Amino acid sequence: MKLCRFDHCRIGILDGAAIADITPLFDDIARPAWPYPPYDWMVHHFPQVKPRIDGFLATARRFPADAVAVDSPVANPGKIIGAPINYRDHVDESNADREINHGKTFTTLEQLGLFLKAGTALLPSGGRVLIPFENRRTDHEVELVAVIGRAGRRISRAAALDHVLGYSIGLDMTVRGPEFPGFRKSADTFAVVGPWLTTADEVPDPNGLDLELRVNGELRQRSNTRCLIFDVERLIEYASAMYTLCPGDLLFTGTPAGVGPVRPGDLIGASIQGLGELHAEVGSL
């Protein structure tokens, strides 16, 4: 199923051309009290609610999907984790382009590790990406995003996918420059995720999905997640060797070749096979 948030605090399931409001299924689940847990409340409780969804859909309120503004599917990810260099063709383009590499040589994820993006960078599909420095190159990066559903640390490769609730489309927006990725990739609006989360049961192989990105309708990136250097399982194993993964954590899996600059007024469209289509407009602060 395709799970979304809309109207800021409503939880919905995409049902054909409609969004069915399943928020009442969460009514008897206590909201978290301060100090808040390090996981997302809705994602953490989704397994409790899931068996009742099918029966509830018949009577659920419905809204036309194209008339509703969606929010990012996860409200409060405890962590947004990114993989800097995870497609061979992007490693090659990065090492060939001084505007991307700034004199560094990109090697392997074993050497470079992962990076974190700030929670305040989160932006839903349909939102406006704000460029913080107009005189600096700011690039699009389309990426498969895995949404962690079950907590774990030191997760084995064999168990990795059991910890995934579902998948979504992400834009890992990036200012090019010499600073650490945690600075250049964490600006407000630089983690676009959406439009909804497709549960893992509908994605039998996350390492075999076509993905593409267009700017103003022009194709910029096209690949398939089978080209991931660290596949989804390996990324979860690797990330969880360092961090406890919590429900709602977002794992950006890396971008293929074709990254390039965007400017205010540009319209970004990204799609991943079976996961829908994400849109963002580019603006300036």
The residue ranges that bind Mn ion (CB under 5 A) are: 141, 172, 255
Alpha-carbon distance of 194 to 71, in angstroms, equals 8
Question: Between residues 185 and 279, which has the closer beta carbon with respect to Mn ion?
Answer: 185
Q: Are 33 and 45 in contact (CB under 8 A)?
A: no
Q: How far is the CB of 132 from Mn ion (least distance, A)?
A: 17
Question: Between residues 94 and 255, which has the closer beta carbon with respect to Mn ion?
Answer: 255
Residues 6+ apart with CB under 8 A from 133: 175
Name the nearest CA neighbour of 193 among 94, 280, 108, 261: 280
Side chain identity at residue 145, one-letter code: V
Q: How far is the CB of 112 from Mn ion (least distance, A)?
A: 12
- How deeply is 89 buried, as exposed, middle or buried, from its count of CB atoms within 10 A (0-12, 13-18, 19+)? middle
The pairing of strands 128-131 and 174-175 is unpaired
> Which residue of the chain is nearest Mn ion when measured via CB?
172
Question: Between residues 60 and 109, which has the closer beta carbon with respect to Mn ion?
Answer: 109
Q: How far is the CB of 252 from Mn ion (least distance, A)?
A: 6
Name the nearest CA neighbour of 245 among 101, 40, 68: 40
Question: Between residues 21 and 172, which has the closer beta carbon with respect to Mn ion?
Answer: 172
- How deeply is 144 buried, as exposed, middle or buried, from its count of CB atoms within 10 A (0-12, 13-18, 19+)? buried
Q: How far is the CB of 152 from Mn ion (least distance, A)?
A: 23
Q: How far is the CB of 32 from Mn ion (least distance, A)?
A: 30
Question: Between residues 52 and 104, which has the closer beta carbon with respect to Mn ion?
Answer: 104
Q: How far is the CB of 143 from Mn ion (least distance, A)?
A: 6
What is the DSSP track for 248-278? T-EEE----S--EE--TT-EEEEEETTTEEE
Question: Between residues 72 and 255, which has the closer beta carbon with respect to Mn ion?
Answer: 255
